[in-house]
Amino acid sequence: MTSFNVIRWIVWKDFVTELRSRETISSMVFFALIVILIFSFSFSMDQQAAREVIAGIMWVAFAFTGIIGLGKSFSTELQNDCLEALQMVPEAKGAIYLGKVAANFAFMFLVEILLFPMFVILFNLEVVEEISLLLLVFFLATVGLSAIGTLFSALTVQIRAREVMLPILLLPLVVPVMIAAVEATKGALNGDPLAMYEQWLELLVIYDVVFTVVSFWMFEFVMDS
């Protein structure tokens, strides 16, 4: 099981690097806090109004912090040309992809878990009942974002203007994730009956499956000429 080993080592390396430098997660959290702050300036909200727009604000914050994390994920590989070493790994590239997806997913999910209480406190939400459903939505949407985001992070890191191109290429492609995540989050926060938004959960599952598989194969062509 060498490919499983590769996955494990990639995740290990990303975690140790992150633990020692704390660059990615701290910048993600800080950026998200600024987003929350700016949104709280631009909307003066009572609780009812907050419920309408909070899901959108939340996912805007999550998506942009996620893009910061995804961009970092491969741009750290550029120091000392480590990317070349990854490209020269004899194993199939899919293992590297899965390792990177796992690491990126973990970082993004961790940041979302850290930020969610902030939203609850700052926007006066009541969520105690629906917390497990919300976590499920976060989980599914983050899998989708990191699956396709990892592919494009690896792609854009090898071109000019990479910081600009990652969101330009990624955001149109994750439109379904954003719509589904926002609608499902809104439903859960409103305490709507599950029947009203379970379709969005199914859409997220479909998206996750499709893009994990497609990106897995495409990653080979990103890393390998």
Partner 1 sequence: MPGKKKIGMVVSILLVGGALGYLALGNFGENVVYFFTPSEVKAFTTDYYQKKVRVGGMVVEGSMETYPDRLGLTFQLTDGEATIPVTFEGIPPDLFKEGQGAVVEGYWTGEHRFESNLIMAKHSEDYMPIELKRAGVELPRKDFMKSLVE
Partner 2 sequence: MIACHGIGKTYGHFQVLRDVNLAIAEGECFALFGPNGSGKTTLLKVLATLERPSTGHFEILGMHGLKDKEAIRANLMFLAHGTHLYDELNARENLAFALALRGHHPTDRDVKRALDRVTIGAFADMKVRHYSAGMKKRLALAKTMLANPKILLLDEPFTALDTAGTEILREYVRERLSDNGTVLLSTHDYDKTRPIASRAGILRHGALQETAIEELQSDDLV
Partner 3 sequence: MTIHRVIRKVQRFEGWFGGGAVLCLVAGLYLGLIGSPPDYYQGEVVRIMYIHVPLAHTSLLGYTVLAVGSLWYLWKRDPIVDNMCQAVAALSAVFTALALGTGMIWGKPTWDTWWTWDARLTSFTVLLLILIGYLMLRTFVDDPEKEARYGAILAIVGFVDLPIIHFSVEWWRTLHQPQSISMRGVSISSGLLVPLLFMSVGMSLLFSYMLMVRTQLLYLDRLLHAKKGRLLSQFHLSKFDS
User: By the criterion CB under 8 A, which residues form the site for partner 3?
Assistant: 148, 151, 155, 158-161, 165, 168-169, 171-173, 175-176, 179-180, 183, 199, 203, 206-207, 210-211, 214-215, 218, 221-222, 225
- Evaluated on CA atoms 11, 17, 21, 23, the torsion sign reads negative
Residue 4 in contact with partner 2, rule: CB under 8 A? no
Of the candidates 127, 162, 159, 166, the one whose C-alpha atom is nearest the C-alpha of residue 145 is 166
Q: Which two tokens stand for residue 114?
A: 């850290």
Of the candidates 220, 143, 148, 130, the one whose C-alpha atom is nearest the C-alpha of residue 184 is 130
Residue 199 in contact with partner 1, rule: CB under 8 A? yes
Cβ closest to partner 2, residue 9 vs residue 217: 9
Find the shortest distance in angstroms from Cβ 211 to partner 1. 9
- Sequence-distant contacts of 161-165: CB under 8 A, at least 24 apart: 162/71, 162/75, 163/71
Measure the CA–CA gap between 154 and 73, rounded to whole angstroms.
8
Residue 195 in contact with partner 1, rule: CB under 8 A? yes
Residue 221 in contact with partner 2, rule: CB under 8 A? no
Stretch that binds partner 1, among 64-72, 142-150, 160-168, 210-218 (CB under 8 A): 210-218
Residue 195 region by backbone torsions, left for phi larger than 0, else alpha for psi between -120 and 50, else beta: alpha
Q: Amino acid letter at 60?
A: V
Measure the CA–CA gap between 134 and 60, rounded to whole angstroms.
16
Cβ closest to partner 3, residue 106 vs residue 222: 222
Residue 90 in contact with partner 2, rule: CB under 8 A? yes
Q: Which residues bind partner 2 (CB under 8 A)?
A: 2, 5-6, 9, 12-13, 16-17, 20-21, 79-82, 84-92, 224-225
Q: Which residues bind partner 1 (CB under 8 A)?
A: 92, 190, 192-193, 195-196, 199, 202-203, 206, 209-210, 213-214, 216-217
